[in-house]
Amino acid sequence: MSKQKEKLPFDKIGGVIMINKRLLDSEVFLTMPPQANKLFLLLHSQWRPHKPVGYGVREAAAKIGCTQNTAAKSFQVLEGRGFIICEDESVFHSKNGSRAREWRLTWMPYTWDRYAKPPSNEWEKWNDKNKLTVSKCSTQKGIASPILRR
């Protein structure tokens, strides 16, 4: 008889978030401000492979417990370090409702554009001397085309 594989006792109600140890031990992650670390975890908890993460500044500020300005700076830190890429801009319309920005998490795979894509790991290109600068979110025909420059 074969041995049954033991299942790990993960929390079945709340779910589990797994993050690559290489990412957690990296300088780019360890040198982030505490609010950006919290936002990183909040975005990761919302990740699903079939759609970008829709998360806005007001929601982030409320969850982190900071001002909207600090939350916006945290998004800039994550984007500047290559952890997130804006896939779709936010929209505010009083009659049709609003929509928060949608983000792609570069350390996670995704499948929303027909084919499964592996993580792009843009955060690996960041270092303290050679910082990534990311342009504003630009979309063309619903397909995001972020531009990364050194």
pLDDT given for residue 99 in this prediction: 73
**Residue ranges of the chain with pLDDT lower than 50?**
135, 138-150
9 located within any domain? no
Q: What CATH number does the domain containing 101 carry?
A: 1.10.10.10
> Nearest CA to 52 among 108, 132, 134?
108
From CA 14, how far away is CA 16, in angstroms rounded? 7
Using only the alpha carbons of the chain, give its radius of gyration: 17
> Nearest CA to 136 among 88, 71, 70?
88
The secondary structure element, H or E, covering residue 36 is helix 34-46
Count of CA atoms in the C-beta half-sphere (13 A) of 90:
10
Q: State pLDDT tens for residues 8-36.
A: 666 777 777 889 999 999 999 999 999 99
5 located within any domain? no
Query: What's the number of domains the chain is made of?
Result: 1
12 located within any domain? no
4 located within any domain? no
122 located within any domain? yes
Q: State pLDDT tens for residues 126-136.
A: 877 666 555 45
Residue numbers of the domain that contains 117: 21-149
pLDDT given for residue 132 in this prediction: 58
7 located within any domain? no
132 located within any domain? yes
SS3 87: strand
pLDDT given for residue 140 in this prediction: 37
32 located within any domain? yes
